[in-house]
Amino acid sequence: MTRVLNYINGQFQPALSGATIENIDPATGRVYGSLPQSNERDIEQAYDAAIQAFGSWRETTLEQRSAILYRIADLIEENLEELAQAESRDSGKPLLLAKTVDIPRASSNFRFFAHALTQFSSEAHESVGKNSINFTLRHPIGVVGCISPWNLPLYLFTWKIAPALAAGNTVVAKPSELTPVTAFLLAGLCQKAGLPAGVLNIVNGTGPSAGQAIVAHPKIKAISFTGGTATGAKIAGVAAPMFKKLSLELGGKNPNIIFSDCDYDRMLETTLKSSFANQGQICLCGSRIFVERPIYEKFKIDFVRRVSELRVGPPSEEVDLGAVISKDHKQKILGYIALAQKEGGNILTGGQETKLEQHPEGYYLQPTVIEVKDHLCRVNQEEIFGPVVTLMPFDNEEEVIEMANSVTYGLSASLWTSNLDRSMRFGQRLESGIVWVNTWLNRDLRTPFGGVKSSGVGREGGFEALRFFTEPKNICISYTP
């Protein structure tokens, strides 16, 4: 049994109330561990530790701070195997994915911000002719809250924590109650790396209990949240009237637009990944596929054949898709597949649970492709967040731009074409924070990351993150020439 504990002021401890939550292995549907069910008392204790630690952490030299973050990155790399095993078991994702994507990226997050903090400069503006000069300092905010989801557990947890710490803040952070283990292991690595007690505090528990207590804490001055749009709205409702700084990375329903002049083989390989990587549970997955009419039938045949060959099975084995995160989530996805049929959608492949003999209670689903007739139907408008994509033909640019932009979300979009002018036109007109042309999930950590419309507020990544986690202060000095 894996017993996760809170990490507060450099100490591992249970929730103050002693309450726990069961942790379930999605691959088997069985309980395999527990975690603390924390509440506002635990958050208060974590806040006290964080504010105590803030005074000296903000004063550490950039070199010292950077060295500790580099050391954490190294330790993540050195412990890749253990972390990947834990991530795969906790979330149901294929072990290979955890080894090649999730854990390496967690290390890169620390490495990137360890370096970025030494390159982040303040600004000066000389008011020429007015004998004045302005310095804009960027000070850490204080104690900040970081809340992350279950789909890319350590990857997204570290994506918030690393810039928050790099900027000189101290942190109270909560991983998803469904995937707490790698954050727990990270706490041990941070301790080993010499991160002073209280600088990072990790508190476990459900969203409405531990998460809500972070958001509502009057002295936690900024909240960086990644998760669903409905939760984001709740968080904004609590935090906005308290005038907290807010970064919200929310849901998506991303279009994947395929023109007949694309590099077909490359597009097909990438589209398999962008549709079903991590069982389709990546906010950037392209869940609405639009294909230009001349290659529609060919694409449909090739894609459906390749999808039906994808292997679904225990995440510890060589599979393309592991288990989805929970029983409830599996039911939600199946509900959308049933809805698709009611809406007149045609299931081209998949559509069912996969029952594994060795793990009949695990949460496995077949990768599913649904041909839809109307881009405004609910399965084409609402985030399913599972191994389900829709397929529709289109005839011209105007039509597909209108269909792509018809959702309330606007996180990312992919475009497949060899026409440079077209890629610029789409880049300008697609309503999303990220547009990929002839690629997918291709991230340079210096670039801004985030969505428009219901996909979020604010940007993460590079200096955007360091700006979020600092407060600018302008000092204007008038001098006598």
Q: Is 377 in the site for ligand NDP (CB under 6 A)?
A: no
- Dist. CA 469–CA 120, nearest whole Å: 12
Residue 180 CB, nearest distance to ligand NDP (Å)?
Answer: 8
Question: Is there binding between residue 54 and ligand NDP (CB under 6 A)?
Answer: no
Contact with ligand NDP (CB under 6 A): which of 314, 456, 461, 462?
Answer: 456
Give the SS3 label for residue 64.
Answer: helix
- Binding of residue 461 to ligand NDP (CB under 6 A): no
Instruction: Identify the DSSP state of 173.
Output: E
Q: Does residue 226 interact with ligand NDP by CB under 6 A?
A: yes
Task: Tell me: does residue 252 bind ligand NDP (CB under 6 A).
Answer: yes
Minimal distance, residue 160 CB to ligand NDP, in Å: 10
- Establish whether 249 is a catalytic residue: yes
Task: Show the site string, 262-301: x = touches ligand NDP by CB under 6 A, - = not.
Answer: ---------------------x------------------
Tell me whether residue 262 is one of the annotated catalytic residues. Answer: no
CB of 214 to ligand NDP, least distance (A): 7
Query: Residue 102 interacts with ligand NDP (CB under 6 A)?
Result: no
223 versus 369: smaller Cβ distance to ligand NDP: 223
Q: Closer to ligand NDP at the Cβ: 227 or 314?
A: 227
The amino acid occupying position 42 is D
The upper half-sphere exposure of residue 475, i.e. CA atoms within 13 Å in the direction of its Cβ, equals 9
Tokens encoding 36: 């603390």
What sections of 326-436 are H helices per DSSP? 327-342, 397-404, 420-429
Confirm or reject binding of residue 90 to ligand NDP (CB under 6 A).
no
Q: Which of 87, 177, 190, 249 is catalytic?
A: 249
Q: Give yes or no for residue 42 binding ligand NDP (CB under 6 A).
A: no
Query: Which residue in 70, 88, 198, 181 sits closest to 143, CA to CA?
Result: 198
Nearest to 288 by CA among 350, 379, 373: 379
Q: How far is residue 204 from each of residues 5, 191, 372, measured CA to CA in Å?
A: 8, 18, 41
Q: Residue 274 is which amino acid?
A: S
Tell me the closest approach of the beta carbon of residue 83 to ligand NDP, in angstroms: 19
The whole-angstrom separation of Cα 70 and Cα 113 is 9
Residue 88 in contact with ligand NDP, rule: CB under 6 A: no
Which of the ranges 40-48, 85-93, 149-157, 192-200 carries the binding residues for ligand NDP, by CB under 6 A? 149-157
Residue number with CB closer to ligand NDP (211 or 315):
211
Q: Which long-range contacts (CB under 8 A, 24 or more apart) does 347-354 make?
A: 348/300, 348/304, 348/391, 349/304, 349/307, 349/308, 350/307, 350/308, 350/387, 350/388, 354/312, 354/313
- Can you tell me whether residue 87 is helix, strand or coil? helix
User: Of the candidates 259, 385, 394, 440, which one interacts with ligand NDP according to CB under 6 A?
Assistant: 385
208 or 344: CB nearest ligand NDP:
208
Nearby residues of 205 by Cβ (< 8 Å), 6 or more positions away: 15, 21, 35, 36, 37, 38, 39, 42, 174, 177, 211
User: Which residue type occupies 435?
Assistant: V
The 3-state DSSP composition of the chain as helix, strand, coil percent (nearest 5) reads 40, 25, 35
Catalytic residue among 146, 190, 262, 283: 283
Q: Where are the alpha helices (DSSP H) in 240-373?
A: 264-276, 293-308, 327-342
Ramachandran region of residue 241, left (φ > 0), alpha (ψ -120 to 50) or beta?
Answer: alpha
Position 250 contacts ligand NDP (CB under 6 A):
yes
Nearer to ligand NDP, 320 or 383 (CB): 383
Query: Least distance (Å) from ligand NDP to the CB of residue 293?
Result: 30
- Binders of ligand NDP in range 391-450 (CB under 6 A): 411
Question: According to the binding rule CB under 6 A, does residue 145 interact with ligand NDP?
Answer: no
Query: DSSP 3-state assignment of 151?
Result: coil
Cβ nearer to ligand NDP, comparing 79 with 224: 224
Gap between the Cα atoms of 153 and 149, Å rounded: 6
- Angle 365-371-372 (CA atoms, 0-180°, nearest 5)? 115
Number of residues that bind ligand NDP (CB under 6 A): 33
Rounded least distance, CB 39 to ligand NDP, Å = 12
Nearer of residues 300 and 453 to ligand NDP, judged by Cβ: 453
Q: Contact, 211 vs 205, CB < 8 A?
A: yes
Q: Specify the amino acid at residue 341.
A: Q
Q: Which of 142, 196, 228, 448 binds ligand NDP (CB under 6 A)?
A: 228
Judged by CB under 6 A, which of 168, 227, 313, 350 binds ligand NDP?
Answer: 227
Whichever of 102 and 383 has its CB closer to ligand NDP, that residue is: 383
Phi-psi region of 438 (alpha: psi -120 to 50; beta: other; left: phi over 0): left
CB of 181 to ligand NDP, least distance (A): 13
Sole residue written with tokens 């490359």: 266
Q: How far is the CB of 481 from ligand NDP (least distance, A)?
A: 50
The count of residues in the chain is 481
Cβ closest to ligand NDP, residue 143 vs residue 156: 156
Helix, strand counts (H, E) of the chain:
15, 21
Residue from 33, 153, 163, 207 touching ligand NDP (CB under 6 A): that is: 207
Q: Which residues are catalytic?
A: 249, 283
Q: Which residues bind ligand NDP (CB under 6 A)?
A: 147-151, 156, 174, 176-178, 206-208, 211-212, 215, 226-228, 231, 234-235, 249-252, 283, 383, 385, 411, 451, 455-456
